[in-house]
């Protein structure tokens, strides 16, 4: 019943649904119909907040409540979740109404982040709390390992720059690839190029600055994940 692309998406998620209808609902935007992912988003947002809070609590034993709150918002804010959604090509799996489809809703931060939370909610209902927590830990542990107290005040471009400086690497170059739309509906696509790294890190947003921040986030997350995999990151 599942097509190849959805099969691949489920593999990337790391949870095989016993009720695939739950996943389908999580990937259905409200523009598609009345059975959509909004309630699952509510649930996923809450479980995500809880698991990330617990991870931060244990990882930063000396952090104040205020620091923990700020670090949590770095990890779970819409922009960050949209980046994680893009890393697993969630946009390709979205079911959108025709209007949203035409206007490129599958690229929009809010729609991607909402669906990402809804998928978390669906995993909770399908597999129970321990399964859902294990997925969230797998997804967020690399990011958490790379966070430091004080990072909550820094934007992704600054963090990427510091990360590269720490490795003695050259600074990134941001290239504007494309601008579409007019006036308030302008859409910027930016590439973050790193010397000696062939991966294609892109970000797009309604301003050039935001698109650069998005591309920096994608680059930073990928570098940290690679670094954790090879064990060179610690």
Active site residues: 45, 117
68 makes contact with a copy of itself (CB under 8 A): yes
Per CB under 8 A, contacts with a copy of itself among 170-209 are none
Nearer to a copy of itself, 12 or 39 (CB): 39
d(CA 212, CA 191): 7
- Work out which of 5, 64, 110, 178 binds a copy of itself, going by CB under 8 A: 64
Angle at alpha carbon of residue 110, lines to 7 and 136, rounded to 5°:
50
Per CB under 8 A, contacts with a copy of itself among 122-181 are 124, 129-130, 133
- Work out which of 6, 10, 63, 169 binds a copy of itself, going by CB under 8 A: 63
What's the DSSP call for residue 153? G
Q: What size, in residues, is the chain?
A: 234
Shortest distance (Å) from residue 233 CB to a copy of itself: 27
Shortest distance (Å) from residue 38 CB to a copy of itself: 4
- Work out which of 31, 53, 161, 227 binds a copy of itself, going by CB under 8 A: 53
Angle at alpha carbon of residue 10, lines to 118 and 103, rounded to 5°:
55
- Work out which of 6, 8, 31, 49 binds a copy of itself, going by CB under 8 A: 49
Query: DSSP string covering 26-90, please?
Result: HTB-TTT-SS-SHHHHHHHHHHHHHHHHHHHHHH-TT--HHHHHHHHHHHHSHHHHHHHHHHTTG
112 makes contact with a copy of itself (CB under 8 A): no
- Work out which of 4, 65, 183, 232 binds a copy of itself, going by CB under 8 A: 65
41 makes contact with a copy of itself (CB under 8 A): yes
77 makes contact with a copy of itself (CB under 8 A): no
Nearer to a copy of itself, 41 or 126 (CB): 41
Q: Which stretch binds a copy of itself (CB under 8 A): 14-22, 61-69, 151-159, 221-229?
A: 61-69
Count of CB atoms situated within 10 Å of the CB of 26 = 30
Token digits of residue 130: 């321990």
Token digits of residue 59: 């990882």
d(CA 91, CA 89): 5
What's the DSSP call for residue 177? E
Per the listing, tokens 């209808």 go with: 21
* Residues of the shown chain interacting with a copy of itself in the complex, contacts defined by CB under 8 A: 38-39, 41-43, 45-47, 49-50, 53-54, 57, 63-65, 68-69, 124, 129-130, 133
């Amino acid at each position: 019943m599942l097509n190849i692309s959805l099969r691949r998406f489920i593999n990337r998620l790391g949870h095989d649904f016993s009720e695939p209808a739950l996943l389908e609902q999580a990937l259905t935007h409200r523009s598609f119909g009345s059975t959509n992912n909004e309630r699952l988003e509510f649930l996923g947002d809450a479980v995500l907040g809880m698991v990330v809070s617990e991870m931060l609590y244990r990882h930063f034993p000396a952090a104040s409540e205020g620091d923990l709150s700020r670090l949590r918002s770095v990890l779970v804010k819409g922009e960050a979740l949209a980046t994680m959604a893009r890393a697993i090509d969630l946009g390709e799996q979205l079911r959108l109404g025709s209007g949203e489809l035409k206007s490129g809703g599958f690229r929009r931060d809010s729609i991607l982040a909402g669906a990402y939370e809804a998928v978390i909610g669906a995993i909770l209902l399908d597999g129970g709390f321990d399964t859902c927590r294990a997925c969230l830990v797998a997804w967020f542990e690399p990011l958490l390992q790379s966070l430091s107290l004080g990072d909550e005040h820094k934007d992704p471009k600054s963090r990427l720059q510091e990360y590269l400086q720490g490795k003695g690497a050259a600074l990134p170059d941001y290239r504007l690839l494309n601008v579409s739309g007019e006036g308030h509906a302008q859409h910027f696509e930016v590439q973050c190029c790193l010397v000696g790294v062939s991966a294609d890190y892109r970000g797009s947003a309604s301003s050039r600055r935001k698109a650069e921040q998005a591309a920096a986030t994608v680059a930073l997350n990928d570098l940290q994940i690679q670094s954790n995999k090879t064990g060179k990151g610690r």
